[in-house]
Amino acid sequence: MSRVAVKTRYDGAFERLRQRGEGAFIPFLMLGDPDLATSARLLRAAVEGGADAIEVGIPFSDPIADGPTVQAAAVRALVAGVRPPDCIELLARFRAEAPEVPVGILTYANLVKHRDLKGFYASVAAAGVDSVLVADVPVRESEPYVAAARAAGVAPVLIAPLNASESTLELLAERCGAYTYCVTRKGVTGADEQLRLSHGGLFETLRRFGAPPTILGFGISKPEHVRDALAAGAFGVVSGSAVVQRVAANLGDPEAAARSIASFVREMKAATAR
């Protein structure tokens, strides 16, 4: 498979960040948590707070990469009756409201294959989605997903495993689009007190192979985590559990949840100045 770049909103957004000397801050939200109307409000709140892009999850019953906080968010959405078509419709409405903000989906292979690869990627592309990360598909098994994504004009984001071989990272650089998802540690998502980063070699290898910009996830919950990640060589960060915790803390009060998320995003974004 040859290297084919899919042009997305990430390209312009990341170039503007480079020109301003900033890193990227990307909050994660579970679609439909705790219901569709609140979820729509929280997406807007993330933009109001200054998010450079938004990553979203589609509720799934067996999210193997998600920690307990994000799993609980998926359960809340599923209990509310939220299903994948509802999520796609929600994203289409959000895209009409926020035409320039890059949007990526983090999901799982069973959910993608349930409809069929071509149909899934076509539907998310029609909703204005820029990228899809299928969290349980490793680099060496990603070819059919990458091909289907590219055919639909969607960037296929891949995870760079810790301690991956150079040949795996070279293959990732060939297949990955928009950004390269790097993890702070093995395991599942969750908010950490401290980050222990030794990613310099990984980031340098990815740059050498021409991989897309590195975005660090898992455990990002404080402004100092953002600064540490950028100092280690990452282009930006994703924060999931720390965002979702603010939803859980304000169930029944969508405006309070929106204020909390906008404030958190604003605080984390401020830490991206280099």
Q: What is the set of active-site residues?
A: 55, 66
Q: How far apart are CA 214 and CA 150, in angstroms?
A: 20
Both tokens assigned to 183: 């993890």
Both tokens assigned to 254: 């969508």
Q: How far apart are CA 5 and CA 183, in angstroms?
A: 23
Residue (of 220, 265, 240, 237) closest to 179 by Cα position: 237
Residue 148 near residue 123, CB atoms below 8 Å: no
* Residue in this structure with the two tokens 């990627």, named with its chain if needed: 121
Looking at residue 189, the DSSP 8-state letter turns out to be -
Three-state DSSP class for residue 81: coil
Residue 247 near residue 57, CB atoms below 8 Å: no
Residue (of 73, 87, 76) closest to 128 by Cα position: 87
Residue 151 near residue 115, CB atoms below 8 Å: no
Q: For the packed helices 36-48 and 254-270, what is the interaxial angle rounded to 10 degrees?
A: 30
